[in-house]
Chains A and B, each alone.
Chain A
Amino acid sequence: MFKLPQRDTKTLLAIHGWSGVLLGLLLYAVICTGVAAVFASEINDWASPLKRQQASAAFGPGLDAAVRRLAKQVDPQFHEEVAIYGSAGGRVMLLYHRHETNPAGKPSERGVEFELDPATWQTIATRTGWLEDIAEQRRASGVADFLVNLHVRLHIPDPYGLLVTGALGLAMMVAAVTGLLIHRHLIAELFTLRLGRDPVLRRRDLHVVAGTWNLPFAFVLAFTGSFFSLASTVGIPAVAMVKFGGDQEALIETLSGPPRTENKQAAMLANIDAIIADTRTRSHAEPNFVSVSQYGRADAITSTFTDLPDDTLVYSSYVYDGTTGAFLRTQPPFGTTPSIGASLVGLMYPLHFGNFAGAASKAVWVALGFAAAYVTLTGMLLWTRRREEQSAWRRMARAVHYVGYGLPLALVCAPYAFFALRDSKVEAGTSQGIAFLAVAAVAAVVAVGTGNLDRLRRRLLASTGIAMLGLPLMRMATGGLGWMESYRAGIGAVPAVDIAFVVAALACLWTALRHQHQPSKGTARARTNTTDAQTT
Chain B
Amino acid sequence: MMPASVIAVLISAILLAILGRHDPKRLRNRSREVATGMSTPGLTRGMRRLLGWLVLVPGVVLTVIDQWWAFLIWMGACCALGWVTTHLLSSAATAENAT
List chain A positions with a Cβ less than 8 A from chain B.
187-197, 209-210, 213-214, 216-217, 310-313, 350-351, 354, 356-357, 360-361, 364-365, 367-368, 371, 517-518, 520-522
A206's closest neighbor in chain B, by CB? Answer: B87
The smallest C-beta distance from B53 to any residue of chain A, in angstroms, reads 12
Residues in A neighbouring B42, C-beta threshold 8 A: none
Q: Of B19, B67, B68, B73, which is within 8 A of A360 by CB?
A: B73
Greatest chain A CB density within 10 A among B66, B70, B79, B83 is at: B83
Q: Within residues 50 to 71 of chain B, which ones have a CB less than 8 A from any CB in chain A? A: 52, 66-70
**CA A247 to CA B36, docked complex, whole Å:** 75
Q: Of A191, A214, A520, which is within 8 A of B89 by CB?
A: A191
B98 in the interface (beta carbon within 8 A)? yes
A213-B82, A213-B86, A356-B69 as given contacts; A192 in contact with B26, CB under 8 Å: yes
**CA A386 to CA B77, docked complex, whole Å:** 32
**CA A364 to CA B97, docked complex, whole Å:** 32
- Contact check, A517 vs B73: say whether CB atoms are below 8 A apart: no
**CA A209 to CA B93, docked complex, whole Å:** 16
A191-B19, A192-B26, A194-B29 as given contacts; A360 in contact with B91, CB under 8 Å: no
Interface string of B81-95 (1 = CB under 8 A from A): 011011101110110
- Contact check, B79 vs A190: say whether CB atoms are below 8 A apart: no
- Contact check, B26 vs A357: say whether CB atoms are below 8 A apart: no
- Contact check, B69 vs A191: say whether CB atoms are below 8 A apart: no
Q: Within residues 22 to 45 of chain B, which ones have a CB less than 8 A from any CB in chain A? A: 23, 25-26, 29, 31-32
The smallest C-beta distance from A514 to any residue of chain B, in angstroms, reads 11
B76's closest neighbor in chain A, by CB? Answer: A364
Greatest chain B CB density within 10 A among A189, A191, A360 is at: A191
Residues in B neighbouring A365, C-beta threshold 8 A: 76
Q: Of B68, B73, B94, which is within 8 A of A196 by CB?
A: B94
A selection of 5 A-B contacts at a CB cut-off of 8 Å is A191-B25, A194-B29, A311-B1, A312-B68, A518-B98
Residues in B neighbouring A190, C-beta threshold 8 A: 20, 23, 82, 86
- Contact check, B76 vs A517: say whether CB atoms are below 8 A apart: no
A196-B94, A357-B69, A522-B31 as given contacts; A191 in contact with B86, CB under 8 Å: yes
**CA A521 to CA B34, docked complex, whole Å:** 14
- Contact check, A191 vs B83: say whether CB atoms are below 8 A apart: no
A195-B94, A196-B97, A196-B98 as given contacts; A356 in contact with B72, CB under 8 Å: yes
- Contact check, B83 vs A192: say whether CB atoms are below 8 A apart: no
- Contact check, B29 vs A192: say whether CB atoms are below 8 A apart: yes
The count of chain B contact residues (Cβ–Cβ below 8 Å) is 36
A361's closest neighbor in chain B, by CB? Answer: B73
- Contact check, B1 vs A371: say whether CB atoms are below 8 A apart: no
B12 in the interface (beta carbon within 8 A)? no
- Contact check, B68 vs A313: say whether CB atoms are below 8 A apart: yes
B11 in the interface (beta carbon within 8 A)? no
B7 in the interface (beta carbon within 8 A)? no
Greatest chain A CB density within 10 A among B26, B52, B69 is at: B69
A366's closest neighbor in chain B, by CB? Answer: B80
**CA A304 to CA B44, docked complex, whole Å:** 57
Q: Of A195, A364, A367, A368, which is within 8 A of B91 by CB?
A: A195
Residues in B neighbouring A371, C-beta threshold 8 A: 79-80, 83
B15 in the interface (beta carbon within 8 A)? no
**CA A214 to CA B84, docked complex, whole Å:** 11
Q: Of B23, B68, B73, B86, which is within 8 A of A364 by CB?
A: B73
The smallest C-beta distance from A248 to any residue of chain B, in angstroms, reads 33
**CA A523 to CA B29, docked complex, whole Å:** 12
Greatest chain B CB density within 10 A among A192, A210, A368 is at: A192
**CA A115 to CA B75, docked complex, whole Å:** 39
**CA A213 to CA B19, docked complex, whole Å:** 14
Residues in B neighbouring A364, C-beta threshold 8 A: 73, 76-77, 80
A192-B26, A356-B72 as given contacts; A368 in contact with B79, CB under 8 Å: yes
**CA A311 to CA B91, docked complex, whole Å:** 38
The smallest C-beta distance from A315 to any residue of chain B, in angstroms, reads 13
- Contact check, B79 vs A216: say whether CB atoms are below 8 A apart: yes
- Contact check, B1 vs A517: say whether CB atoms are below 8 A apart: no
Residues in A neighbouring B91, C-beta threshold 8 A: 195
